[in-house]
Amino acid sequence: MQKRIITIGRECGSGGHTIGKRVAERLGIGFYDKEIVELVAAKTKLSEDFIAAHGEYFRSGAFGHIIGYGGRFTAPMQTQSSIQDQMHFVQTTLIRELAEQESCVIVGRCADHILRERQDCLNVFIHSDMSYKVERSVREHGLEEEEAAGILAKRDRARSQHYSFYTSQTWGLARNYHLTLHSGFLGEDACVDLICAAWEK
Amino acid sequence: MQKRIITIGRECGSGGHTIGKRVAERLGIGFYDKEIVELVAAKTKLSEDFIAAHGEYFRSGAFGHIIGYGGRFTAPMQTQSSIQDQMHFVQTTLIRELAEQESCVIVGRCADHILRERQDCLNVFIHSDMSYKVERSVREHGLEEEEAAGILAKRDRARSQHYSFYTSQTWGLARNYHLTLHSGFLGEDACVDLICAAWEK
C-alpha cells in the first residue's frame, strides 16, 4: 500500500478526534493526537500539561526557552523566540518526521499547513453547529451544559488564533483543506465513510 | 424517494457546474444554474445577459427598478433599493419555490444561505488550486492562458462580495457548508461520488 497521510483540523466538540481515530482504525494506520504531546514531552523535557496547553492554543505572554532537544534545534533556541514558537518548531519537525515514516492520521497542530507541499496528504476539517457540539461535549466529556458553549467557543478562538499566527491562513477556510465535513448534519459514521472514500480516490 | 435539495457554491473554474450537473443526472433530479437566469428573465422582463451579469456578481452602481413580476413584489419595488437588491429578492423567492417543489441541485446564487433553515438541504462548496482552474478554463472555456488567472480571480472576488453582501457571511468558509471539496486534488469523478454518498446518508 502506498504511504498516505490524513490531517484532521477540527472545531472543539465536533467529534474530529473520534472520527480521526475511527478512520485510522479502519485503514489500519497510525493515529496521532495527544500522542504528539507525549512525543514532544519526551524530546523537550517539558511537562505534557504544559505542551497540551501551548501546543495548539494561542496564549499571549508564553515567553521563555526550551532547553535541549538533542542539539538539533540550536539556531532557533539561540533567538529570543517564545516557548510557543519553539514548541511549534519542535512539533513541526515531529509532524514532518511522522509523515516521512508511515501512513497515519494526524489531528490538529497545523499539520495540514506543515505538510502542504506533500502530494500524499489529504487535509480534512471537521466542524458542526454549536447545539451538536454542546450536546456531544456534555455527553462525552462531562461539560456543564450551561457553560459548554462558552468553553468551546473560547477554545476555538485560541485554536483559530494559533493557526492564523503560525500559518498566516484563516482557520476553517474551505480553501485550506481537500475535504471539510459538518459532523452534526452528516453524522459521525458518514464522516468516517467519506474520509475513507476520499482517501481511496 | 424523500425530497432533498443540494446547493453547490463554487469557485470559478473549479468545475462546480459540471460536477453539479453530473450529480443531478446520476440522482435523476432537476438541475438549476443558468436555468435560474431564464426563470428570472421570464418573470422580470429583464434580459438574460443583464441577469447573468448582476444575479451573482457584485457590481457597484447597479441602481434602478424592476417593473412587474406579477405584482408579487410590490413592497420592495416601492423602495429605493438597487436593481441588484431586487434581483436578489426575485432569485431568493424562486429558489425557495424550487426547493418546495422538487428534489434538485441548485448552483450558486447564495442558495445555501437562502435555504439554510431547511433540514432536507445539503450545502456543498467546490474549490481548487489556481493551476487546476486555469488549465480547466483554457481547455473547457477557451480562456487565454495568460489572462485566465486574472479573470478567474476577479470573478471570484465579485462572487465573494455578492455573497458577503447578501448573507453577512464569508464565502468559502467551511462552517457555512455541510461538505466542501477540492476538485483539483480529489478529481471530478470523486467529487460526484462523494456528494452522492453524502446525499444518501
Measure in Å the smallest separation between the Cα of B68 and chain A Cα atoms.
39
**Three-class DSSP category at B8:** strand
- Complex ipTM > 0.90: no
Of all residues in chain A, the one with the smallest CA distance to B180 is A180
Number of domains in chain B: 1
The amino acid occupying position A182 is: H
Give the CATH number, domain containing residue A64: 3.40.50.300
Domain that holds residue B145: 5-200
B55 inside 8 A of chain A by CB:
no
* Residue B133 to residue B80: CA distance in whole angstroms: 39
8 A C-beta contact, residue B23 and residue B93? no
**CA-based angle B27:B28:B29, to the nearest 5?**
95
8 A C-beta contact, residue B62 and residue B54? yes
Burial of A118 (0-12, 13-18, 19+ CB in 10 A): middle
* B175: chain A residues, CB-CB within 8 Å: 127, 172
Tell me the whole-structure pTM to 2 decimals.
Answer: 0.86
Relative orientation angle of helices B16-27 and B188-200, to the nearest 10 degrees: 50
Question: Are the beta carbons of B127 and A186 separated by less than 8 Å?
Answer: no
B163 inside 8 A of chain A by CB:
no
* B172: chain A residues, CB-CB within 8 Å: 173-175
Each of the 201 residues of chain A gets a pLDDT tens digit; together they read 688 999 999 999 999 999 999 999 999 999 999 888 888 888 887 888 877 777 777 665 444 444 434 334 434 444 446 777 888 888 899 999 999 999 999 999 999 999 999 999 999 999 999 999 999 999 988 888 889 999 999 999 999 998 999 999 999 999 999 999 999 999 999 999 999 999 987
B125 inside 8 A of chain A by CB:
yes
* A172: chain B residues, CB-CB within 8 Å: 173-175
Best residue in A186, A189, A192, A199 for a mutation probing chain B (most B CBs within 10 Å): A186
8 A C-beta contact, residue B55 and residue B71? no
Question: Are the beta carbons of B174 and A178 separated by less than 8 Å?
Answer: no
